[in-house]
Amino acid sequence: MNIFESITIALDAVRSQKLRSSLTLLSIGIGVFAIIASTSITNTLQQAVNGQLADLGENSILIQRTPTIVFGTNWAKMRRRKNITYDQALQFRDRMTNTKLITISNTSPGYTIKAGQESTNPTVSLIGIDDLYFTVNVTTIADGRPVTESEVALSRNVAILGTDIVNTLFNGEPCVGRTVTIRNQEFTVIGILEAKGGVIGESQDNRVLIPITVFNKYYTSEWDASVDISLKAESKFQLEATQDEAVGIMRSLRKVKPWEDNNFELDRNDALTGQFSGFSTALLVVAWISGLGALVAAGIGIMNMMLVSVKERTREIGVRKALGARKAWIVRQFLIESITLCQLGGLTGMIGGLSTSWAVTEILRYNNMPTIVYVLPWGTVIFSIVICTIIGIGFGLYPAWRAANLDPIEALRYE
């Protein structure tokens, strides 16, 4: 019997035992789907997060009240931390000696921006900044200019708009020098931010930047609303020393006792990337264990199907052996059938996994993340083919051995 005839018999078995075959092949498909989809989607999310974390810039440090990314920590405890006040941030900037590239900012979501008869949805993020914001952060102005030191000191009502705001209020036309209104306060537009896309569906262009002194004056419920401090070391060789000095000064300003943990968070680009990598690796491990577990369960189903097939074809096997079929030929026939069944289920899982991961990538690209590129996970696809083959051989070997060792006389008598 040739290979193609064995494959045909395997397909006939699927058609003749539709329910049992469907459940078994579904189990294989779920296992392969979990492996391929989780790997591809995690890689896509890693692209997105790495791209956004790059905005912190090289040699940069971010100090804030709570972590940027929280995994397995006591969030309620962190929420009880006292704010990093604007006054503390100013004192911090004055005390730092390793670097003077320090910027103070604050963010508040949920604002509506108006210009004439046009207005945005109440989803705009309002950010208070100082004159060093664009020096420390990887943020670029496409048109106009940044906020100056005097505008911060004198609390001037000037604003820099994200491209989403410009498109909504001014139909994408030049708007530097024009006026927008934020909660009854008029601001002169002095710049437009370069488009950045988004992260996990959240646009990074739906924001307005104003002097932090104006932000504190009109848009915080308390003067001491928590601010973020970003600083940039003069070189990568100064990064550790700058970080150590920053921690010491912040602990002093916030009166942290020597035996107490920091009541603030200090993040670096490489540290945040490492945190997310650890999280994504944990998700991958869980998905792969679940997928491999489903494949093992499917292997048991394959073995049961093959044992039933051996029993149903006992007389056929007896005829073959009586006509001179060798044991190796019969073993090969049943192994080919087992492998075919596994590959059929695996193919279904591959199509589902690749389609889902492609769809997720396209959804993220459509939702303001145009830089994400779908990469076909060839390594995972090849691994899935190999593992399905191994399962087919491993769980088909016993039924094949039983078929090959049937007594031809007894097999011919089987009714």
Which has the higher per-residue pLDDT, 55 or 110?
110
**pLDDT surpassing 60 at residue 368:** no
| 232 backbone dihedrals φ, ψ, rounded to 5° | -130, 125
Mean pLDDT of 74-86: 78
**pLDDT surpassing 70 at residue 74:** no
SS3 of the chain:
CCHHHHHHHHHHHHHHCHHHHHHHHHHHHHHHHHHHHHHHHHHHHHHHHHHHHHHHCCCEEEEECCCCCCCCCCHHHHHCCCCCCHHHHHHHHHHCCCCCCEEEEEEEEEECEEECCEECCCCEEEEEECCCHHHHCCCCEEEECCCCHHHHHCCCCEEEECHHHHHHHHCCCCCCCCEEEECCEEEEEEEEECCCCEECCEECCCEEEEEHHHHHHHCCCCCCCCCEEEEECCCHHHHHHHHHHHHHHHHHHCCCCCCCCCCCEEEEHHHHHHHHHHHHHHHHHHHHHHHHHHHHHHHHHHHHHHHHHHHHCHHHHHHHHHCCCCHHHHHHHHHHHHHHHHHHHHHHHHHHHHHHHHHHHHHHHHCCCCCCCCCCCHHHHHHHHHHHHHHHHHHHHHHHHHHHCCCHHHHHHCC
Give the tens place of pLDDT for each residue, 289-319: 888 888 888 888 788 877 877 777 777 777 7
Mean pLDDT of 239-246: 88
Mean pLDDT of 264-285: 72
pLDDT at 131: 92
**pLDDT surpassing 60 at residue 107:** yes
Q: Count of CB atoms within 10 A of residue 146's CB?
A: 20
pTM metric for this prediction: 0.62
Q: Where are the domains of the chain?
A: 3-52+274-413, 82-263
Among left, alpha and beta (phi > 0; psi -120 to 50; other), residue 33 is alpha
pLDDT at 248: 92
Query: Which residues touch 148 (CB under 8 Å, ≥6 apart)?
Result: 131
Identity of the highest mean pLDDT range in 58-62, 73-77, 161-165, 374-378: 161-165
**Pick from 169-183, 245-259, 358-372: least confident:** 358-372
pLDDT at 149: 93
pLDDT at 332: 79
**Pick from 38-42, 78-82, 408-412: least confident:** 408-412
pLDDT at 165: 92
**pLDDT surpassing 90 at residue 152:** yes
**Could you tell me what percent of the chain has a pLDDT over 90?**
21
Mean pLDDT of 9-23: 66
Name the pLDDT band for 324 (thresholds 50, 70, 90). confident
Which has the higher per-residue pLDDT, 44 or 178?
178
Per-residue tokens: 259: 């035996």
